[in-house]
Amino acid sequence: MWISDSECANSSDHTRNLISTETTKNLGLMDVRGAHRRMQSLLPAASWGQERCVCWPVTSLLFSSLLLVALGMDSSAMSIESLDSTIRDRAFDLLSRGRTGVAYEVRLPSGLSGVRASVQRMRSGNLWSRGARFGSLHVPPRTMTVPFARRLVVVHQDLGNWSSSFFNAPGYSLLAPVVGCLAYDASGSASNAPGKLELRVLGDPISITFPRVTLPAGLNATIKCARLGPHGSVAQLADAASDNACAATRTGHFTVVVPSAAAGEASETTWRVWAVACGSGVVGLLLVGLVGMGIMRLTRNRKMEEMEQQAAEGEALGTTWAGRSKMPSAAMSRTAAAMEDGTAAP
């Protein structure tokens, strides 16, 4: 059964609109598959039987274009946004049964076992007067939300060994796991999506501590605190407050970095140190072997000299013939023979 040209054109228009909508949302591959299923539902059911609509090649071409566009997007940007959304949704679901002012550990899917997150709901008045501490984050007093919210939810993230997967930071090398500090409006009803908030400090800055900062051996560069952008790049750099602490004046994702060139120089220096150490070890082993061989040869020569000296000082043996064999014989016997009965031999 074939559908009319007008129905086919309408289906194509719906498909184009859907592709435009899905593309602007920066969806991943799983969402593209969902869009494919929704496109199928837009076309008449008869066109998906054995007799397909004549406009199906056009729809297939448009779907392929959507797939290529989705695969060509910045995967790191979509990934970090998806991660933030997942943690946010699970955090609010957890807080629906929790208490205000109490920190909770957010349970994440098993595929994100290296990522840790905690959440706390609090009143903006308490944040202004007392501040708050969330894991490695310390929000000082005199901190306000922008825009203003009576209640807020603060999410603390530690991406752990997933840091380089979500943030590539072109031109820099990550020295510590990425730490996230995000705030959401908790004043609205549960049916409304929580809005994102900014934290504005009017006193001391937000302190972020990194417990696992490791500097490459031989590195001769100053480490920097970096606020990472949504596309995985470095959005802002600042001097580190100490070797493992940074100061921030707003929410976002933070880490400690060094320029990639400096890290490369440190790696090259480390390689040279190892090369010199290995070469010195080989030369040392050769010297030890030569000294050992010299000592063995000297010891053997001394033994030969002692044997020759003993032979020169000893008495020369004579020779005698026994049949056709020539045998050594002594001119005299050093030990006098004795008879069995104890009498002297004649």
Q: What is the DSSP string of 116-176?
A: EEEEEEEEHHHHHHH-EEETTEEEPSSEEEES--SEEEEEEEE-GGGHHHH---TTEEE-S
Crossing angle between the packed helical segments 56-72 and 5-24, to the nearest 10 degrees: 0
CA–CA distance, 48 with 257 (Å, rounded to integer): 54
Q: What is the fold, at CATH topology level, of the domain defined by 76-265?
A: Chondroitinase Ac; Chain A, domain 3 (2.60.220)
Contact 271, 263 (CB under 8 A): no
DSSP, collapsed to helix, strand or coil, labels residue 295 as: helix
Cα–Cα dist 53/58, whole Å: 10
How many Å apart are CA 46 and CA 178, to the nearest integer? 52
Instruction: Delimit the domains of the chain by residue range.
Output: 5-73, 76-265
From first to last of its 346 residues, what are the pLDDT tens digits of the chain? 444 444 444 544 544 444 444 444 443 333 434 444 444 444 444 333 443 443 444 444 444 444 434 434 444 444 789 999 999 999 999 999 889 989 999 999 988 888 999 999 999 999 999 999 988 899 999 999 999 999 999 999 999 989 988 998 888 888 889 999 999 999 876 556 789 999 999 989 999 998 767 676 666 778 889 999 877 788 888 888 777 889 999 999 999 998 886 545 555 566 677 788 888 888 888 899 989 998 988 888 888 888 777 766 655 566 777 777 777 766 655 566 666 666 655 5
CA dihedral sign of residues 156, 159, 165, 170: positive
d(CA 9, CA 21): 18
